[in-house]
Chain A
Amino acid sequence: MKKNRPVNLDIGTIRLPITAYVSILHRVSGVVLVGGILLLLWMLDISLRSEEEFNSIRVSLEQPIYKVILWAILAALAYHLVMGLRHLIMDFGLGETLEGGKLGARLALFLAAVLIILSGVWIWL
Chain B
Amino acid sequence: MALVTAVTSLGRSGLADWLIQRVTAVVMAAYTIFIVAYLLLNPELSYAQWAELFSQTWMRIFSFAVVLSIVAHGWIGMWVVLTDYITTRLIGGSALFLRTSVLAIYLVINFAFIIWAIEIIWGY
Contacts and interface: CB of A to CB of B under 8 A. Distances in A.
**A and B associate in one complex:** yes
A30 to B, nearest CB: 5
A48 B25 contact: no
A50 B113 CA distance: 21
Contact of B22 (A44, A77, A91): A91
A65 interface: no
Interface string A4-25: 0000000000000000000000
Q: Is the interface of B mostly helix, strand, loop or mixed?
A: helix
Contact of B32 (A47, A77, A88): A77
Interface in A39-70: 41, 44-45, 47-51, 54-55
B32 A48 contact: no
Contact of A38 (B25, B40, B113): B113
Nearest to B48: A51
B81 A48 contact: no
Contacts of A50: 47
Interface of A: 27, 30-31, 33-34, 37-38, 41, 44-45, 47-51, 54-55, 77, 81, 84-85, 87-88, 91, 122
11 contacts: A27-B80, A45-B116, A47-B50, A48-B51, A48-B54, A49-B124, A51-B48, A54-B50, A85-B29, A87-B25, A88-B22
